[in-house]
Amino acid sequence: SYPEEFFKGVLENLQISYEFNFPVSKSSLGVNSSSAYFLDFYIQIDQRKIDLEIDGKQHEYSDRKESDQERDSLLVKNGYEVYRIKWRNPVTEENKIYIKSEIEKMKTFLDLKV
């Protein structure tokens, strides 16, 4: 999707290594299931396992919010850090400012000295 392509560029510009659409089997998280969660961007910094999620409008629906919370709590319980950015297409000045601000917050979260 465009938001994911956009953030691939952001991470590459910041020279942050990542794996895109990284599968984490639910069974590895203690769930009796043969399916997997796919992390938008898996980033490992030292011992930190980070799931960077870029959330489109579909994440605003209540059933999706619920499944996201369940997913996030399973990941966190298993040593992952989940960081979500609500996507806004940077076509207006307001959205450009918002995205730049979210990138700065992400850099702080990742503890980057960029």
Name residue 100's beta-bridge partners. none
The pLDDT > 70 percentage for the chain reads 96
Backbone angles phi, psi at 36, to 5 degrees: -140, 160
What is the arithmetic mean of pLDDT over 74-85?
96
Closest to 39 measured CA to CA, from 79, 86, 71: 71
29 pLDDT more than 90: yes
The pLDDT > 90 percentage for the chain reads 84
pTM value surpassing 0.85: yes
User: Could you give the strand order of the β-sheet that contains 80-86, starting from the edge strand earlier in sequence?
Assistant: 19-25, 36-45, 48-55, 80-86
Contact yes or no for 8/17 (Cβ under 8 A): no
